[in-house]
Amino acid sequence: MSKTLFDKVWDSHVVNTIENGPQILYIDKHLIHEVTSPQAFNELEERGIPVLRPDQIVATADHNTPTQNQDQPIKDEFSRKQLEQLSENCKKNDITLYELGHKYNGIVHVMAPELGVTQPGITMVCGDSHTSTHGAFGAIAFGIGTSQVAQVFASQCLLLTKPKSLRVTVNGNLKNGVLPKDVILYIIAKLGTNSGTGYFCEYAGNVFEDMSMEGRMTVCNMSIEMGARGGMIAPDQTTFDYVQGREFAPKGEDFKKKVAYWKTLPTDTDAQFDKEYHFDAQYIEPMVTYGTNPGMGIKISETIPEVSDASFEKSLKYMNFKKGESLINKPINFVFIGSCTNSRIEDFRVAANYIKGKQKADNVTAWLVPGSKQVEAQIIEEGLKTVFEDAGFELRQPGCSACLAMNDDKIPQGEYCVSTSNRNFEGRQGQGSRTILASPLVAAATAVEGKIIDITKQLN
């Protein structure tokens, strides 16, 4: 029978099926961080259950870490305690931890692919909804709750009902300045925030085939923002080249064997999906969001739609925007380039390329937060740090930072932030903050101009 990429990976991981119930799905890699793991460790300890496969777990500290002075003790008592507990739990259970300051430390969805932990054809979970990022490699990767973190600790498995399948195909040529972030914001704006709920999404078409691994990660990262538990892209030569030679990637003959297997994974030509959508790349433009969910996005040159609906109006009221209004020329005081969506080297190259020779606007506070220590090192090595600093930008240390504002990187009440992160929920970047999601290019241009500009005019 013809199978999708998702079917092939899922079916090869089913340990058993409960009659009229879920399946036991085997999990190859489990990523953990400080915020969603402590209660799971506690639960196991209380029940006297050991961690079954510590060597299949990789830990990092990212959500709750400062982005300045990482070499010094963390000031916030609760944050410090949470990180100490992660270190203790990992030590006690023989789990590899890349703690704050380690050369491999970083946002879980940036550092794991970098290290070659993420590979095609595997199953991966993490107590974080953006685990969908790793689907860019043709892996089944999804976010789980803390009870499930405990289940994976205890059994290396989860009880799950197989999701339905969805395919989003984008073919054609992307316009100049349209980045992977714009592609996914466009898709979510078209389909809505719950269109993918109950589904696993495959992205297909030449637009994704032509993307770098980093671009594919940006796309898959935001699958959850349309409700899909995960997103996947078929592994190809781009994937194999990226994985080869990385720390935990298979080596030599083993790698060759794996590649031969990975080549069998793409969706069979006559495989059926439960739902399919097609988009034409030429209609996609740089995007911005105007509301309080990621589906509320428009092309940067468009105006806010006129929708009569209580939730829509509540959202606009929070953002202090009006129906029919354009965002062009809106003064912006905060810009954030970072998060598991857009904090990889290519994102900083795009930003630096725009910023080079220009100056940051005086009204703007701009935080550039690399996704990992390795990205940070590369920024310095490529001379981008100098470009940023010459233009008045501040390069911070790696972490989730202002994406969820658990640390001190908070946007003040009432302020707008043009952000390369993934969620524009109320208060997401700090109490009362107003988030406008965009690509690193739009974010960089906003920081230079001090307001949102129609970037398409500069590109064409």
Partner 1 sequence: MEKFTTLQSRAIPLQIENVDTDQIIPARFLKATDRKGFGDNVFRDWRYHKDGSPNSDFVLNNSKYSGSILVAGDNFGCGSSREHAAWAITDFGFKVVVSSFFADIFKGNALNNGLLPVQVSETFLKTLLTQIENYPETTIEVNLESQTISVKGLDISAHFDIDSYKKTCMINGYDDIDYLVNNIKLIEAFEAEKTY
Pick out residues in 135-164 that bind partner 1 (CB under 8 A). 143-148, 150-151, 154-159, 161, 163
User: Considering the complex, what minimum distance in angstroms separates the CB of residue 392 from partner 1?
Assistant: 29
Smallest gap, in angstroms, from Cβ of residue 139 to partner 1? 11
| Beta carbon nearer to partner 1, 79 or 374 | 79
Closer to partner 1 at the Cβ: 273 or 348?
273
Least separation, in Å, of the C-beta of 275 and partner 1? Answer: 15
DSSP codes joined into one string, 26-66: E-SEEEE-TTTSHHHHHHHHHHT---S-GGGEEEE--TT--
> Residue 49 or 377: which CB sits closer to partner 1?
49
Q: Could you say whether residue 427 binds partner 1 (CB under 8 A)?
A: yes
Distance in Å, CB of 403 to partner 1, minimum = 9
Question: Minimum distance from CB of 292 to partner 1 (Å)?
Answer: 8
Q: In the bound complex, what is the minimum distance in angstroms from residue 319's beta carbon to partner 1? A: 14
DSSP 8-state code for residue 285? -
Q: Which residues of 100-111 are buried (b: 16+ CB within 10 A; e: fewer)?
A: beeebbbbbbbb
Figure out which of the listed residues 39, 169, 378, 456 binds partner 1, where binding follows CB under 8 A. 39
Pairwise CA distance, residues 188 & 163, whole Å: 19
Q: Which of 199, 192, 211, 220 is nearest to 341 (CA)?
A: 220
Q: Which of residues 395-424 bind partner 1 (CB under 8 A)?
A: 404-406, 413, 423
Residue pair 290/321 in contact (Cβ under 8 Å)? The answer is yes
Q: Which positions from 173 through 202 interact with partner 1, judged by CB under 8 A?
A: 193-194, 197-198
- Shortest CB 396 distance to partner 1, Å: 18
Decide if 240 contacts 262 (C-beta within 8 A): yes
CA distance 342 to 443: 11
> Of the ranges 90-98, 103-111, 223-231, 361-369, which one interacts with partner 1 (CB under 8 A)?
223-231
Q: Verify binding: residue 35, partner 1, rule CB under 8 A.
A: yes
Under DSSP, the state recorded for 278 is E
Q: Which two tokens stand for residue 138?
A: 């043709």
Nearer to partner 1, 106 or 227 (CB): 227
Candidate residues 4, 82, 267, 420; the one interacting with partner 1 per rule CB under 8 A: 82
* In the complex, minimum distance from the CB of residue 353 to partner 1, in angstroms, rounded to a whole number: 32
Q: How many residues bind partner 1 (CB under 8 A)?
A: 73
Least distance (Å) from partner 1 to the CB of residue 38? 4
Q: Which of 239, 248, 271, 403 is nearest to 337 (CA)?
A: 403
Q: Considering only residues 5, 57, 61, 64, which one is a binding residue for partner 1 as defined by CB under 8 A?
A: 64
Give the Å distances, CA to CA, from 180 to 43, 170, 346, 457: 40, 12, 11, 19
C-beta closer to partner 1: residue 145 or 383: 145
Site for partner 1 in 235-264 (CB under 8 A): 261
Residue 434 near partner 1 by CB under 8 A: no
CB neighbours of 441 closer than 8 A, spacing ≥ 6? 177, 179, 286, 350, 351, 354, 455
What is the total residue count of the chain? 460
Angstrom distance (rounded) from CA 4 to CA 120: 14
CB-CB contact of 65 with 79 (8 Å)? yes
Interface with partner 1 includes 68 (CB under 8 A)? no
Work out whether 124 is an interface residue with partner 1 (CB under 8 A): no
Sketch the per residue contact string, 304 through 343, with partner 1: x for CB under 8 A, - otherwise.
------xx--x-----------------------------
Q: How far is the CB of 27 from partner 1 (least distance, A)?
A: 10
According to the binding rule CB under 8 A, does residue 93 interact with partner 1? no
Q: Centre a 10 Å sphere on the Cβ of residue 217 and count the other Cβ atoms it contains.
A: 31
Q: Is 366 an interacting residue with respect to partner 1 (CB under 8 A)?
A: no
Give yes or no for residue 72 binding partner 1 (CB under 8 A).
no
Q: Which lies closer to partner 1 via its Cβ, residue 261 or residue 283?
A: 261
Q: How far apart are CA 403 and CA 424, in angstroms?
A: 9
φ/ψ bin of 27: left (φ > 0), alpha (ψ from -120 to 50), beta (otherwise):
beta
